[in-house]
Amino acid sequence: MKKKEVIVLKFGGSSVANPEKIKYVAARVKSFADMGYKPVVIVSAPGDTTDDLIKEAAGISSNPHVREMDMLLATGEQKTIALLAMALWDMGQKVVSFTGHQLEIITDGNFSNARIKSVSSAKLVEALKKGFVAVVAGFQGISLKGEITTLGRGGSDLTAIAIASVLNARCKIFTDVEGIFTANPKVYAKAKKIDIISYDEMLEMASAGAGVMQARAVELAKNRNVSFEVACTFSRKKGTIICGEDKLLEKLVVRSVTEDKDQAKINVSGVPDRPGIAADIFEALSDKNICVDMIIQSSAKSSPESGTPVNDISFTVKRSELNRARKILEAVRKKMQIRDILVKENIAKVSIVGSGMKTHSGVASRLFRVLAKNKINIEMISTSEIKISCVIDEKNTAKAVKVIAKEFKL
């Protein structure tokens, strides 16, 4: 360790869920300070606070105003920084807490899913020079117009990576698991902890449903070349290092399997086969910040009603966004002369990820074969250089994860 090295420590909601856990986290933070580090601590809202606040808002309004929702949700992290700072003061540790706007975490002003434009390091540097531990509210920032904005689910990860970047500091993401695993240990008991993984692999895992890290945070870490470790708050064991691919000694063909049940499939049938209509459909969804994942378009065929060429477009969205997506599509249906909109909710996405896929053939056939052998039907497929995803019936999710993990020895 360099003398008086700055280190960014991020603790998730499960790590600060109650007073006892907050005191434990305070003791861990103080131990870093006692070792000579200069800790900057990023925290989430305690436990299920964010979900509870959303429920409270729903009890007041069926359609809460986005600005006021951000005002409400930002209070969760403000509670944590105050309580953690109190615990550290009681332990004899000098500490100062900051909200996102106090620290000048500037965002683009997009309520509920803002992007960080810049972070001022001035107040942090000043506090650290005076021997204070800095405790920062994650998940929030302020727009150039002075509006409080939140950074989307998992936004505290984004705060931690952004601050580590501007301070050129080491970063540890503490959670309730011991690192990144080859499969979800709750689904596949024999899953193994991964010691080191590339940004690209972690990014694909995050986008495929692995809930340990926010995908945008991993993307920022890659862009800013911020290596970080994911470890368990309540264990002293080493976690998983996420870094550039050049630091990996071995590129495994398949490093992990993930599952995501927050999926729904929409089939837009009888879409007129003319240039620009697909763009119009997806632009309508994009304008409302609904992300589309997998897309399949069928070959053109003649409409039984008009005889003109039509096709079907199927795609997936998060199940939690299905109702909004359906309303948007119903609103543009007549204008675009679309015949029907069908939805299916009981689906899941299983994915395999591994940087070694770039140079190895036969991976897809092995995946499809093991699913077929176990009578698991594939409804949709998408691929990237290092990921293959399949949409399957939700009831087969656990079975699929287990047989895939065994097939690829994960």
In a domain, 218, yes or no: no
**pLDDT > 70? residue 97:** yes
* Residue 158 to residue 139: CA distance in whole angstroms: 7
Which pLDDT does position 135 carry in this prediction?
98
Phi, psi values for residue 383, rounded to 5°: -135, 155
Identify whether 386 is part of a domain.
no
Say if 305 falls within a structural domain: no
82 within a domain of the structure (yes/no) = yes
CATH number, domain containing residue 130 = 3.40.1160.10
Q: What is the structure's pLDDT at 395?
A: 96
Lowest mean pLDDT among 15-19, 55-59, 237-241, 247-251: 247-251
The answer to the question of residue 152 being in a domain is: yes
Which residues constitute the domain of residue 159?
6-176
Domain membership of residue 111 (yes or no) is yes
Q: Is residue 33 part of a domain?
A: yes
Residue 223 lies in a domain: no
pTM for the whole structure: 0.87
Total domain count, the chain: 1
**Across all residues in the chain, what is the average pLDDT?**
92
Phi, psi torsion values for 324, nearest 5 degrees: -65, -45
pLDDT tens, residue by residue, 201-234: 999 998 887 778 888 999 999 999 999 999 999 9
